Amino acid sequence: MTTIQEQVSRYGYVTEKVSEHIDLIAEINRLKIEKNAVILAHYYVDGAIQDLADYIGDSLGLSQQAAATEAEMIVFCGVHFMGETAKILSPNKKVVIPDMNAGCSLADSAPADKFAAFKAQHPDHIVISYINCSAEIKALTDIVCTSSNALQIVESLPKDQKIIFAPDANLGRYVAQKTGRDMVLWDGACIVHIDISREKLAQLRVEHPDALLIAHPECKEDILLQSDFVSSTTGLLKFVKASNHQKFIVATEAGILHKMKESVPGKKLIPAPGSDNNTCACSECPYMKMNTLEKVYNALRYEQPEIHVPEDIRLKAYGSLERMLELSKGI
């Protein structure tokens, strides 16, 4: 018989079997009240989890919520760096995530030691890092950004300010082109967005000539260049709601379609296809899909796996996140 702590150390999550007679959603809601917990969920997790969350959003909205919540515990349904971000912003709260294995290819693409050496090669550059990075990278960063505020944050700097942008090269290239700024890019990528297949997308556009193509800036340049609209996940959602168009091909992680369908039930939404290596016909993040209702229940019940961030790293990372939140007021 393994203890909860042993289960988490060995498997990355609480493996206790949940009785099939339990009404998981009712129990999660009961535990949430009992423990004064709040459930934050990213748009990319399963719809069933989005439906029970207290707040659903993209990285910017979730950070703002994590910083503002009065709850004693945050259950963060997303990926590891998001749980870390919540802990950095709310150090006195307990932050748990359903599965410690829920990582992110972008965060993994920037190991702190290599990034520190890269930064040292560009001493006159300011470091702007996309929020999809580890706490250590945030600690080496001057200002964090998300895809919702990257343009505004870069534009808030003097025009001649040299910038390192990390870790997403596609988002960085997009921001550099839009703002005309001098930016050195770290060469990281999101495995989901770069997997969107140009050939299959071209076929889909032939089949649906009346659909608008809308894309997240983590997609490759060739996808962005042919898109009718490029924005963050929240920006895409707002666009679909406000547009008079009735049909959209959505080039981002397919989880956003859950909220989009709920918001615009009469409109036709088609997920952009991933390559043949993908198990689904759309683009799904394997890390986000590690969040299950059962793991959410166990995380809430056993208050594990818990996120910890060393205080020296947290304090430095807090500064770069705080600057982002300050510059994002009103977004």
Query: Which one among 190, 251, 257, 309 touches ligand SF4, defined by CB under 6 A?
Result: 190
Residue 196's DSSP bridge partners are 274
Stretch that binds ligand SF4, among 83-91, 104-112, 157-165, 179-187 (CB under 6 A): 104-112
- Going by DSSP bridges, is the β-strand pair 183-185/143-145 parallel, antiparallel, or unpaired? unpaired
- Contact flag: residue 284 with ligand SF4 (CB under 6 A): no
Q: Closer CB to ligand SF4, residue 71 or residue 82?
A: 82
- Contact flag: residue 86 with ligand SF4 (CB under 6 A): no
Which long-range contacts does 312-319 make (Cβ < 8 Å, 24+ apart)? 312/139, 313/135, 313/136, 313/139, 314/87, 314/88, 314/91, 314/135, 314/139, 316/138, 316/139, 316/140, 317/88, 317/135, 317/136, 317/138, 317/139, 317/141, 318/88, 318/89
Per CB under 6 A, contacts with ligand SF4 among 32-61 are: 44
Stretch that binds ligand SF4, among 6-14, 241-249, 283-291, 300-308 (CB under 6 A): 283-291
Nearest approach, Cβ of residue 176 and ligand SF4 (Å):
19
Nearest approach, Cβ of residue 80 and ligand SF4 (Å):
9
Query: Which one among 14, 41, 106, 110 touches ligand SF4, defined by CB under 6 A?
Result: 106
Cβ partners under 8 Å of residue 173, min gap 6: 185, 221
- Greatest Cα pair distance, the chain, in angstroms, is 63
Residue 145's DSSP bridge partners are 130
Tell me if 299 sits within 8 A of 305, measured CB to CB: yes
Site string for ligand SF4, 110-149 (x = CB under 6 A): ----------------------x-----------------
Per CB under 6 A, contacts with ligand SF4 among 232-261 are: 253
Residue 125's DSSP bridge partners are 162
Stretch that binds ligand SF4, among 31-39, 280-288, 295-303, 319-327 (CB under 6 A): 280-288
Stretch that binds ligand SF4, among 46-54, 111-119, 189-197, 235-243 (CB under 6 A): 189-197
Q: Closer CB to ligand SF4, residue 66 or residue 192?
A: 192
Tokens 């992110």 label which residue?
104
Structure tokens belonging to residue 77: 């349904």
149 in a labelled binding site: no
Interaction site with ligand SF4 (CB under 6 A): 44, 79, 104-106, 132, 190-192, 253, 285, 287-288
